[in-house]
A and B are shown apart, each in its own frame.
Chain A
Amino acid sequence: AMTLLPAHAFAQAAADAEMVGTPDEFLAGASASEGGLDLTAPEIAENGNTVPISVDAPGAVEVRVYALGNPTPGVATFRFGPLSGAQFASTRIRLAGTQDVQAIAKMADGSYVTAMKTVKVTIGGCGG
């Protein structure tokens, strides 16, 4: 017998299938070298709930972003189509606390490059 799932269950299933995952899952045993990927993020987040980050990886087909200190590290996967103007993207992310943000790019030749940046999420206050 076949059960028809409600539409949102299909969507949820699709979303779960497209999990960003972890760096190890993306690399699948390969190693990533440094250089060739720019990861921009603030040293200190103005607001841990909305931290601007951008990735720029000329020649990449896909870039994944991870917040290594979040309960679930996956943040986003960017896949660049034939009409992308640059392998560049910018978004805003949630960080549960001070941590390293990592980006990994998969290049057209199947190799990987990575970049890391520490973003401080602070309670705030004080000043000069």
Chain B
Amino acid sequence: MASGVKPRVKVPKSASAGDVITIKTLISHPMESGQRKDSSGNTIQRSIIWRFTCDFNDQNVIDVVLAPAISTNPYFEFEAQVPESGEFKFTWYDDDGDVYDTSKKISV
């Protein structure tokens, strides 16, 4: 299980109705492929975030499938429409079953 997983997001605090805003997200996570061996030759256990989603007021903005080729501390930048005031919800799915999430309010 990944430890010390910490999501961070950058969302503007406010926007005008209908604006397109840029969102950036980072989550501290090893993204260990399960293919590598440690110095004593033992396989390092797989630990991968395999999906990331961003929704705004329950409508989807982006839905990403991550392969182990995504770097340590996965980073995403994308653009979202803001039709009204509300809340962005960000969710990361670890393939050990853990789900990490965070949210950010924005006012129009």
Contact = CB atoms under 8 A, between A and B. Distances in A.
Interface residues of A, number: 40
Nearest to B19: A85
A11 B20 CA distance: 33
B67 interface: yes
B59 A82 contact: yes
A84 interface: yes
A83 B67 contact: no
B38 to A, nearest CB: 17
Contacts of A89: 62, 64, 76-78
B95 A8 contact: yes
A71 B94 CA distance: 22
Contact of B80 (A7, A15, A75, A84): A84
A27 interface: no
Contacts of A78: 62-64, 78
B16 to A, nearest CB: 13
A14 B50 CA distance: 9
B65 to A, nearest CB: 4
Interface in A63-86: 67, 70-72, 74-86
Nearest to B26: A92
B68 interface: yes
6 contacts: A11-B50, A20-B65, A76-B64, A85-B79, A86-B20, A92-B74
Interface of B: 20-22, 35, 48, 50-51, 55-56, 59-72, 74-81, 83, 93-97
Given A77-B64, A83-B56, A91-B74, 5 more contacts: A15-B93, A49-B71, A75-B67, A81-B62, A88-B79
